């Protein structure tokens, strides 16, 4: 695809202080996480809030003790973690896939919080030719140096889209002609039932909570991996590989 090649590969950086964080945002840095001290105020802070709204950046209100644990330096009540990758918009990627004459294969990760799982999934997805990964802006593992290492660098080569609402993103994909396939135990159908040769977005959930009910309700297919042993579930990165390669098996025959 060519989207994922990073022009500048960075490791996670920490930026603290209101002016420094504002400058990082204005310069186009990708903010992975933003922690703001509870009760922070003042004209400069309100200028920062306006900037966050303009760039649609999420933040977390935290006690000052948490900030002090992160750094002993003068953080001025705000710490930002800069992402080592550039995020993309799925609205930009889908049309380009169709324009190339390719059949979209998208992977949505709902609430996966282990960075090693994110990295392992990205590695498999890149090998399988997945066009893009979609993760939620909140409630997902940070894509940090550990995730990139686990991915064997795949996170530099596959577009990652960080979206505020997975539900709205999933609806956009459906409106764009993609079917939604949820990999979940809440069905009698196995992963071999859906036709993956058509434009498809596969949704994977966390091992603890699975896929959110709203996504399950709007999905076109629910599909489960056959299990015959005593252990009831696979690791999510392994499960992702199993369903992705069923999709690749079907596509390689078409």
- 90-253 is a CATH 3.30.565.10 domain: no
Between CA 139 and CA 157 the distance in angstroms is 23
What digits encode the pLDDT tens for the residues 55-70? Answer: 888 899 999 999 998 8
Residue spans of alpha helices (H) in 15-163: 18-26, 43-55, 64-70, 90-99, 115-127, 145-150
Tokens 């644990």 correspond to 69
Q: Where do the structural domains in the chain lie, given as residue ranges?
A: 13-82, 90-253
Determine contact, residues 23/49, Cβ cutoff 8 Å. no
Residue 6: the pLDDT is 44
In the chain, what percentage of residues exceed pLDDT 70? 95
Q: Flag whether pLDDT at 238 surpasses 60.
A: yes
pLDDT: which is higher, 140 or 196? 196
Q: Average the pLDDT over 10-28 and give the result.
A: 82
Q: Average the pLDDT over 126-138 and give the result.
A: 95
Q: DSSP class of residue 206?
A: B
In the chain, what percentage of residues exceed pLDDT 90? 68
Residue 12: the pLDDT is 54
Q: Flag whether pLDDT at 75 surpasses 60.
A: yes
- For residue 152, CA distances in Å to 34, 118, 122, 123 come to 27, 12, 9, 7
Q: How confident is the model at residue 28 (pLDDT cuts 50, 70, 90)?
A: confident
- Give the CATH number of domain 13-82: 3.30.1330.30
Q: Average the pLDDT over 166-182 and give the result.
A: 98
């Amino acid at each position: 695809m060519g989207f994922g090649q990073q022009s500048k590969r960075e490791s996670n950086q920490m930026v603290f202080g209101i002016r420094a964080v504002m400058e990082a945002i204005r310069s186009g840095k990708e903010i992975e996480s933003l922690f703001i001290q509870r009760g922070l105020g003042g004209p400069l802070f309100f200028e920062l809030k306006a900037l966050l709204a303009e760039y649609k950046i999420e933040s977390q209100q935290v006690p000052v003790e948490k900030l002090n644990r992160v750094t002993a330096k003068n953080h001025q009540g705000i710490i930002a973690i800069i992402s080592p990758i550039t995020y993309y918009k799925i609205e930009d990627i889908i049309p380009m896939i169709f324009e190339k004459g390719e059949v979209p294969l998208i992977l949505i990760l709902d609430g996966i919080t282990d960075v090693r799982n994110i990295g392992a999934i990205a590695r498999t997805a890149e090998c399988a030719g997945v066009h893009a990964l979609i993760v939620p802006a909140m409630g997902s593992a940070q894509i940090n140096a550990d995730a990139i290492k686990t991915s064997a660098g795949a996170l530099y080569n596959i577009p990652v889209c960080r979206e505020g609402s997975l539900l709205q993103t999933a609806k956009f994909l459906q409106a764009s002609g993609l079917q939604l396939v949820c990999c979940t135990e809440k069905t009698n159908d196995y992963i071999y039932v859906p036709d993956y040769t058509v434009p498809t977005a596969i949704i994977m959930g966390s091992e603890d909570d699975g896929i959110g009910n709203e996504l399950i309700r709007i999905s076109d297919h629910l599909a489960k991996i056959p299990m015959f042993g005593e252990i009831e579930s696979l690791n999510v990165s392994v499960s992702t590989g199993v369903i992705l390669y069923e999709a690749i098996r079907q596509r390689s025959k078409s």
